[in-house]
Each structure stands twice: as C-alpha cells, then as structure tokens.
Structure 1
Amino acid sequence: MSLLALPDNRFIDVNESFLRLFEFTREEVIGRTSLDIGLWSDPTAREGLLEKLRAGEPVRNVELTLRTKSGKTRHVIVAVETLSLGPHEAWLSAVVDITETKDLERRLLENERLAAMGRLTGYVAHEINTPLTNISLLAATAAKRSQDPEIVSRLEKINAQRRLIGSILQDLAGLTRPPPIQPVETDLRTIVDGSLEQMEPYLHEGVELRKEAGSPVVADVDPRRIQQVLVNLTKNALQATSNGTVTVAVEDRGDTVALVVHDTGPGMPPDVLEKLFQPFFTTKPKEQGTGLGLAFAKSVVNAHGGTIEVESELGQGTTFTVVLPKIPSPP
C-alpha cells in the first residue's frame, strides 16, 4: 500500500510489501512522485488513472503494468481511495501483484496456440510438399533445356522461392515441437565468434559491432542450435540500430551462463514487447522476415531448460539475455 499527498502526488508513506514488490528503500520513495522513481512503463496509463481520480470516479481493480527499480515489469491490480488528511487530501492505493498469474495465462495461451499450429502445420506440410517437389523438378528440367540466360535466371528465382516456402514450413514444424538438442561441453566464446562471423551482410555504416568475452565460459549446450539463436538476436539488433553500437557479451553466472545482446537502437514500446515471441509477429517489412525467428529462438532456449529475457525502453535501446543452465535440464 502507499499514501500520496495531493496536489503534488508525492509519496508520504508506503508499506514493506510495496518496497519489496518494486525493489526500493523507503528513503528512495518518500517525498518523490511515481514518475520520479520511474514506476510507470507507460506514462499515458498514469494520465488516464489521474483523470479518473480527479473526476471523482471510483478506481477499483484497474490493471496496470508498472516497473521495478531494476527495470523488471510487474502486472498489478490497483484500487485507490481518496482520504482527508488535515487540510489536504491524499490517495491511499492498494496494489496486488498478478505477474505470475499473467505469465501463467500467457503460457497456457501460447501452448494452445502452438498445439493448434502444430495440427495445421502437419496438414499444410503434407499438402504442400508434393507440389513443391514437382516445382523443383520442373524448374530444374526446364533450366537444363534452356539456353536463354534470362529464362534460366527466372527459373532460379522460382526455385529460390520454393526453398523459402520449404524453410518456412520447417521453421513452423520446429515451433510446434521442442527442437532436438545434442549438448556437448562448449566454450560459449566460440559460439560468439562463430555468430559474429556471419554478421558481415548486416553490418552498415554508423553502427559498431562489439564483443565482450574474456575468460572461458563453459556449459553443456547444443552449439549449432545456440549459435542459431545468437545469430538471430544479433542480426535483429543490427537491423534495428541505425546509429551507435551492438554489443554481444557472454557471462558466467555461477550455475548458469548468459549470452547478452544489447543495442542502442530505438527501443520498443510495451505493446510490442508483449507480442515479441508470438509466431508471425514482426515489426520488419515482409521482405526482411517472417516473424518466426524469435519464436524459434525461444523454443531452442526452452529445450535447454533456459530462459530468454528482453528489456527495452523507447529511445534507450534493447537488451536480450539468454540464460542457460551449465547442465541442460528439461524445459
């Protein structure tokens, strides 16, 4: 709970539950506003709440997304009462943390969505693979019989599109069932090096690609799969950043290891962050992606028993962190 004095909306008291939830000390909160301590993920939500309170409307069970001192997102339900406090008024607010409930709902919906997609993918793959094979054979036969370079070039473009369709079907299949992993003892610095070697096509003027990898960081991972994840994250970061740096780092965190990709790009708003790992969701133009890369990356990390986290703020850039156990466990 918290108590805010009007009209400045400054905290004059908070209880221990509030401090634990948002990771502050009492000294960091008292005398300051919620904006001062960076509590709001979306300042427009604050304005909407203030409008209701100033109009005398009841505030009961309002769902908000707030931020802790360390930048973590907390989904909460808020209720506010207006009290008389001497010659002035104050707002007494009660906050209930529903983050775990929201995460559970999201995972259940995601599992249902993937199950439905798995059934659809199986049917689509069965129906499409035969004509795709026929297209490939017909295009190859026509290319062998033609002496016209333009026709041969067009046939190769047809074949390239056929391969793209096959790749999308393969990615879809990988999303609907945990990808098989073959963990071996690996120094993650070699994965970083291998990933950065593939970034040449995505480097551009105004952006520096940096590596932070010091002493060996060893874990049992599937190096090919984890490299696919890191390539995807680094490529996305380079494409999102028009000026500044993209930094790829590896960290030893005791029982776990972490691969961190940070960019100084434009950042992402909360509504985009919520949908980021959904299949087919993308902010890129159609020709630059299918919206399956991050969903596939998450499925690979989950198969290792790890997590993939993202922190982003508009105008401040984005950080993806892949945390993996040193010895993989079932997701």
Structure 2
Amino acid sequence: MTETTGPHPAEAENNTEAENNTEAESNTEAGQRPALHRRISTQLYAGIFGALALTIVAGVVSWISFTNISKSQNRVNEESVPELAGAFRLAELSNSLVAAAPRLTTASPSQFWTISEEVRTVRQEFKKNLELLDSENPEDVHVLGIKESARTLEINIATITSDMPHYYNLTRQIEVLQSQIPALHDQAAGIILPAIDDQLFFQVTGYRDLDSEPVDASTRTSGDELLLYRHLNALQADVAQVSELMGSALIASTAEFVEPLQESFESVEGRIRISLASVAASEQMVPELRSAVNELLALGRDDQSAFKVSVDRLEIIERQNELLAQNQVVAVELLDEVRALVEAARDGADQATENSAQTITTARILLVIISIIGIIGSGLISWLFVGRVLLRRIGRLSGRMRTLAGGDLEEEVEVSGRDEIAEMASALEVFRRHALEIQRLNLVEELAQELSSRNDELQSVLEELSQAQDQIVAREKLAALGEVTAGVAHEIRNPLNFINNFSAASAELLEEMNEIVEEFSDDLTGEQRDLLEEINQDLNDNLERIQSHGNRANRIVQDMLLMGRGGGDTQLTSINDLIHEHSLLAYHSARAQDPDFQVTLEEEFDPDMGQLEVVPQDLGRVFLNFVANAGYATNKKQKELIESGSSEANDYSPTIVLRTRRTDESAVLIVKDNGNGIPPEVAEKIFDPFFTTKPTNEGTGLGLALSNDIIREHGGTITVNTEPGEFTEMVVELPLTRSSS
C-alpha cells in the first residue's frame, strides 16, 4: 500500500500563521481595523456599506441572516465539537482503564505500585473529563449512562487495586507453607522410620538395643508389640497423607476443590491422634515424635492454615476474573453511550446546518427583491467574495469530510484563515488525528493477538518435543532392561536344559528297568509286583511333571527374551493364547515378588477370535502391563480392607477377567479387575510418560505410556472404563487387518 504523505503539522501551522499575518497586513493597509474585522458577517457588511440605500437595507437583511448563520455555526463549534472531543477522550481513557486492570492482576509486587500510580493518573484524567462533560450536559440521558458505566468501572478498578496487597501477602504465605510442610514431614518421618525399624528389629531378634538382653519370643511377638508396629506404620502413612493433602490444597485451581481436601485432612488427623495415643502408651515412644507431628498438623488447623490461605487466594482470583469480565461489558456499554452521544451531537450539527441553509436561501430572496437596482453590485460581491472565497473553502472542507468518511485518514485537513470555517477545519483535523490514533491502537491489538497465537503454537511444539524426549529416554531404559533380561535368561536356560535332558534320560532308564522286571516277574510275589508298579507309576508321573514345568519355565524364559528385545516383525498370532500366556507370566511374576499375592484369573475368550497379524512381543508386553496393574490394584484393595478391619475383607475376592470378542471390523480385548478404580483426575493422566500413582520403588510410569504407543502403532485404540471404588476396565480395539503403513 502506498502511504499518502502531507505537510508536517508544524509546517502547516507555520504556513497558516504566515497567511494570517499577510491578511492582517493587508487589512492594516486598507485602513479597516474593526474589532470584529475577521468575521464573515462583518466583511459582508463593510462591502455593502458604500452601496445605495436599497443596498443598505439589503445589507441589514444580510447582517441579520448571517448573524443567525454565525449563531448556528457557533453552536456547532462551541457545543457539538467539544462534546464530540470529550466523548472520544472518555472512550479512549475507558479503554486505557480496562486494559490496565489485567496489568494490575498480573503485576509483580515490585511493579504493582508503579502500575497503580499510572492507573491513578488515568483515573484522575478520566474523572476530570467526565465532570466536564457532565457540567455541559447534566440532564442528557447518554451522559447519565456514561456516568453510571464510569462509576462501575471506577469501583472495579478500586476493588482490584485494594485486593492485590492481600493477594501478594497470601502468595507469600503459600510459599512459606510450601517450604514448611515438606520440612516438618521430613522431621516427623525422620523420627517415625527409625522407630519402625527398631520395633521390627526387636520383634525379629528380641533386642531393644545391642547392649540389652534379648526378650523371649512370646513377649516380642505379643499382640501389644504387633499393634505398636502397626500403629507406627499407620502413623507414617497418615503423616505423609496430611502433607500431601495440604500440598494439594496449596496448588488447587478452584476453591471448591479445597473443601474435600480439608475434610480428608480432618479425617486423617483423627487417625493420627489415635495412633499417637496408642504409641504414647508404649515405653518406646520417642519424645520428639508428638511435637513434630503436632507442628505439622497445626499448619492445617489455625486461621493461617494451608486450606484457609489457599481458599482466600482463590476467592480473590475468582473475584478479580469476575471484575475483569464486568469491565469488558462496562467498556462496551460506555462506548455504546458515547456513540449515541456522538450521533445526538451530529444530529444537532446537521440541524444547525439545515437552519443555516434555510437562512441563506431566505436572505438571497430578500436581497434580490430589495436590491433590484443594485443587483449588479450585489452579484459582483456574491460572486467575488461568497462564491470564490467562502463557498470554495466550504467545498474543499466538505470534500475533505467525505474523504475522511471514506476512510482516508492520512492526509491532513488544510486550515487557512481565522474565521468559522477555519475553526471547523481545525476541529475536523482534531477528529482525524483521534480517529487515526484509534485505528493504530486497533492495529497494535491485532499484532498482539497474532503474537500471542504464535507463542501458543511454540508452546505446543515445545510440549511435543518434551514428550518425544521422554519416549526416547524410556526406550533407552527398555533397551538396557532387555540386555539384562537376555543375560539372566541365558543363565537360567542352562539348568533348565539339564533338568529336561536328565528327566528324559530317567524316563528311558525306567522303561529299561520295567523290561528287566518283566523278565524276573515270575520270581516276584504279587505284593512285590504291585509295589514295583506303583513306584514305577509314581516315578513316571513325577518325571512328566518335571518335564511339563521345565517346558513351561523354558517358555517363560523365551517370553522374557522376547519382551526384553522388544519390537520385531509382525506375524499371525493367536490372540487368546498370547493373552493367556502373558497373564500367567504377570501372575507368577507378582507371586515371586509377594508370596501372599492371590488373584483369580477368569478367561472369557471368544472361540472364533482366531489369529491376527501383530507384533507378538509388543502386544504381549501390553497385556503383561495390564494384568500386572490389575493384580496390583486388587492386591492393594485386599490389604486395605484387611488393615481397616472391614467386614468386606472376608467377602472380597481379588479377580481379573480376561475377555476377547471378535466383531465384523475389529477385535475387542478387555482386562477388567475389581480393585479400587481410578479417580477421574488421575484417569486423564495415566497414559502420560512417567506418571504413576505407585510408590517410587514400585513403578516408573512408563508401562501404560508404552502400551498406548504400541496399540497406536497397531492401528488400534485404548479406552479406560472405571468406577472409583468398584472396578477398572482396559478395552483394546484392534483392526482385523493391519495397515501396510
């Protein structure tokens, strides 16, 4: 776009002053020095003064007519134009106040007073302009509407400004609590954990310390000692839970989320009091334990508790958001009132212009009737002065107004002379500059919005890059795990081969022994023969079991090698067999880690499922993860029921249901458990890399993330159906035909 250039405002002003000085010099030379010699009406009257008597009458009529025109013009200049300028200035200042409110809410403590002072200056100027507009039009309905919107805007800004110091204070309190809570938790844990270790050492060995004599087994395994050990463990878990509840309250996003956290805190506090009372009854009570725990609990009880401080801060944030939204609405209402005021002023100006036109027409008719004799002189005056000077300037001014209405704001309005037309041109130039400034402000806002959009895109790309980096790290860990697994599996295979080989050789030796026994069967009694046959049958049965379990162990080793290796080529695989084998592998793995682990595996396989083209190692890893997680959930729920002494513990049976179903378009594979389920806020994150609800030493948070990647590589999807406290169901849907990509 070609930029239209014009004279610099300073140059234009200098040119105008030069023209005015020239006019003043000409008037001085002509000897005309009336007080109102710059007025158009005065110039017309002076021109007609020397005419005939009829021309004098015509001049009087002209004087009256043009006086009315001057009054109309003055009304436009003195009322409509200032009213327009004041309204536009109010709109500009209201936009500044609305824009300053978010700056106040996001300012740092060091920046707040600087921004607050800027806002105070804008508010004072806004109030001054509003009072000026109100003094000129006290009863105007649009001015009253502007005052009401301005009052609401002022109250909102004042509320936000007064809330911010309290908000900063609450923020500092939250920072202090976020450092105190972990410190007090670590202090309490540093006392509880040694006490647990000492109690466990005493129950196992009977020694309270290395210098004392051991206590007999009946005393150290008594119910009181076991109950003390249990209370110490419960106290450790509850102290960790209250720390986590207070930490969650401090980072909560809404005040409604804090109330259930506080209720949970009060419940856990009751349990802690019970545990402390039980531990206090023992001689092994650590004196500093009660003090450390009470200090931690105090952070969640008094008026400056983590829950109260978090709720107060969130309420301030919500109130500020409501005020910011209300400011936007008030700004729109204020602009609407300003537009209505501008329209009213414009209508007044149009009416004044129409009256002026009517007055001019009437004056011309009277001048023609009265000034028949002096028509030539009057015609010359009208042609030379009115036509060539006034109307040409008015035409140029009117044309410039039309170009401004068409959107051309770059070219400056030409201002010449010091009469009413010059004042109109000056007012139009002020309007043009204000409109150009508003246009530039809109362009700045558009650029700011585009920059914000670019920043959001860059943030999204950064998050994707971070996820990719996490996946690379996870795959490197799995590769290292594969190497270790391969080495262990190789070492296990050697004794397995010996077991299988020697069991087969033993079976052959039994067959040879049977042949020898048959040769000497006549020398044996019936009882001896039956005894030998029974021993032979038992040995054969034992060898078959040895071979069966050896083969089974060999398959497990093979699966471990495949799992550790990862990836591989696609091949037709029986889905039912794959799920069966890996569910057993997960079960025995859990049994190896926890001998008390028990779960019932129920298989509801579709007999028509058949084979699918998949990567068996990868897909097996998925169901190994699913079954392992399901077993962990059911085992955890059973232990919690037992520890709580609930009557449901006897009725609860840990169960995992494995179900397959083949449809016309896909294969649906389901793993369902009757554990504690997954809370909604956790269910949204379970597929994020390194996200886990297990303790640090029991889970890495990679299993489900890798499982999700594997299913997507197979062209399928994973859906989680869960009911907290009831069940969790992992549903995998795979296409019957694998895509070539």
The structure richer in helix per residue is 2
- TM-score between the two structures when normalised by the length of structure 1: 0.49
- TM-score between the two structures when normalised by the length of structure 2: 0.23
